[in-house]
Amino acid sequence: MGYRHIDTAEMYGNEEPVGAGIAASGVARGDLHVTTKAWHDHLAPDALRRALDGSLGRLKLDHVDLYLVHWPAPGMDLAAALSTLVRLKEEGLIRALGVANFTLPLLRQAIEEIGAPIACNQVEYHVYLDQSGLLDYLRPRSVPLVAYCPVAQGRVADDPVLARIAAKHGASPAQVALKWLLDQDGVSAIPKSQRPAGQRANLDAWKVTLDDDDRRAIAGLRKDQRLVNPAFAPRWDAPAG
Residue at 108 is within a domain: yes
Residues 89 and 181 in one domain: no
Is there a single domain that holds both residue 202 and residue 85?
no
180 and 212 in a common domain: yes
The model's pTM is: 0.95
Tell me whether residue 101 is in a domain.
yes
How high is the pLDDT of residue 29? 96
Spatial separation of the C-alpha atoms in residues 153 and 239, rounded to whole Å = 28
pLDDT for 241 beyond 60: no
| d(C-alpha 49, C-alpha 56), whole Å | 11
135 lies in some domain: no
What gap in Å lies between CA 18 and CA 119, rounded to an integer? 23
Residues 180 and 119 in one domain: no
Any domain includes 129: no
Note the pLDDT of residue 79. 98
Range 139-162 average pLDDT: 98
With cut-offs at 50, 70 and 90, classify the pLDDT of residue 240: low
> Which of the residues 12, 128, 137, 148 is marked catalytic?
12
Task: Report if residue 137 sits inside a domain.
Answer: no
Same domain, 117 and 1: yes
Q: Is residue 29 part of a domain?
A: yes
Computed over every residue of the chain, the mean pLDDT equals: 97
Q: What is the span of the domain harbouring residue 13?
A: 1-124
What is the rounded distance in angstroms from the CA atom of residue 38 to the CA atom of residue 134? 22
What pLDDT score does 237 carry?
Answer: 84
- pLDDT tens-digit map of 215-226: 999 999 999 999
Q: Check whether residue 114 and residue 152 sit in a common domain.
A: no
Q: Is residue 136 a part of any domain in this protein?
A: no
CATH at 76: 3.20.20.100
| Same domain, yes or no: 165 and 115 | no
Say whether pLDDT at 239 is over 80. Answer: no
Whole-angstrom Cα Rg for the chain: 18
State the pLDDT confidence band at 200, using cuts at 50, 70 and 90. Answer: very high
Tally of domains in the chain = 2
- In percent, the amount of the chain with pLDDT more than 70 equals 99
Residue 152 shares a structural domain with residue 111: no
CA atoms 64, 66, 70, 75: torsion sign: positive
- Annotated catalytic, 12? yes
